[in-house]
Amino acid sequence: MSAPATDDSVANAGGIGGPSLGDAEFRFLREFVLEHCGISLGEHKRQLVQGRLLRRLRALRLRGFESYCQILRDDPDSELGELASAISTNVTSFFREMHHYDFLIQTQLPLWLQQKRNGGRLRIWSAGCSTGEEPYALAMVLAEALEAYGSQVDAKILATDLSPQALEAARKGVYSVDKLAGVSPERLRRWFLRGEGAYSGLACVHPRLRELVTIQPLNLLHDWPMQGPFDAIFCRNVVIYFDKPTKQRLFSRYAGLLPPGGYLFLGHSESMYGLSDDFDLVGRTIYRKRGT
C-alpha cells in the first residue's frame, strides 16, 4: 500500500537553491491531499513535502509551487496520482502479516471452494496493492487451493492503487531477489522465473499468477466502478493514515461490497473499533461482515 512518507532525510532531496514552499501553497496542498487522498499532512511535514515535490517541479519544468498548485486546481485528476506517489512511500512485502494468509489457507479458501464448486464465483480485492506483492501472494495461495481441491471456480483478484509508479511495478511483476525473503523455497521454485545474464538478481512472477490478478488504478475516496460482491477485501496499512470521518465512510463502502459473512482484513496497527457497526472482529485484524 502507499503510505505517507515519513523519512525526513529526503526533505531536501530536491536540491539546495530550489523554490520554497510558501504558506499559501502548503495550506492548499494540505487541503487538496486531505480531500482527494484522505491523508492529513501536519505542519511538520512541510519540508518533506517540499523536498518530494521539487522533483515533480523539475519533471514538469515549473518554476515554483504556485504553478504546481494551479495545475491541481485546473485538472486535479491529471496530477493526483503523481502527487500521491511523490508524498508516499510504498511499504510492502510478500506474505506480510502471514496470519492473514494462514486464515485463508486453513479456513476460508477450502470453505469457499466447496461452497462454489458448481460454477461459483470467488472475488478478492487488494485495495492499496502498492507494487504488487500482496495480490501476487494472494494469487499463490489461491492457485494452490484451486489445484488442491480440483476446483473449477471462477476466481479472480482485483488489485488497485492510486500511485502510477506502484501500479507500473505491479504490472511488470519483476522483483529483486532480496524482495522475496518472505516467500518459501517451494513457492519460489513454483511461482517465480529467475532472471539470467543481464537480468540476474531479478525474478518474474509466473504467468499463472498474472492470470488471476487484474491491476487497475483507483482512488479509494472517489467513485468505484466495480459492483462486487467480493468475498474478501484486503485493505492493510492504508486507513491508519486517514482521519476518522474518512475511515467511517470507507468501512461503510466496503460493507456495501461484501455479502454477509464476507471478510475485511486490516493492517496490524489498524482497528475498526468505534468506527463501524457492520463488522465483527473474528481474528487478528480480521473482520467479518454481520448478517446471515
Long-range pairs of 248-256 with CB within 8 A, sequence gap ≥ 24: 248/275, 248/276, 250/38, 250/220, 250/221, 251/275, 251/276, 251/278, 251/279, 252/276, 252/278, 253/224, 255/279, 255/289, 256/228
Catalytic hit among 52, 56, 187, 288: 52
C-alpha cell at 4: 505517507
Mean pLDDT, the chain, rounded, equals 89
The pLDDT-based confidence of 270 (bands split at 50, 70, 90) is very high
Q: d(Cα 187, Cα 218) in Å, to the nearest integer?
A: 29
- Give the residue, 245 or 257, on which the prediction is more confident: 257
**Prior bond to 135 cis, omega within 30?**
no
Active site residue 161: yes
Give the least confident one: 31-40, 140-149, 271-280: 31-40
Active site residue 23: no
* pTM beyond cutoff 0.95: no
The pLDDT-based confidence of 109 (bands split at 50, 70, 90) is very high
Q: Which of 156, 128, 142 is nearest to 39 (CA)?
A: 128
Q: d(Cα 158, Cα 123) in Å, to the nearest integer?
A: 8
- Domains belonging to the chain, first-starting first, are 2-90 (1.10.155.10), 98-289 (3.40.50.150)
Residue keyed to cell 525526513: 8
Residue 209 has pLDDT above 90, yes or no: yes
Mean pLDDT of 232-237: 95
Residue 25 has pLDDT above 80, yes or no: yes
**pLDDT for res 15:** 44
Mean pLDDT of 273-286: 95
Percent residues over pLDDT 70 in the chain: 93
Catalytic hit among 30, 46, 123, 161: 161
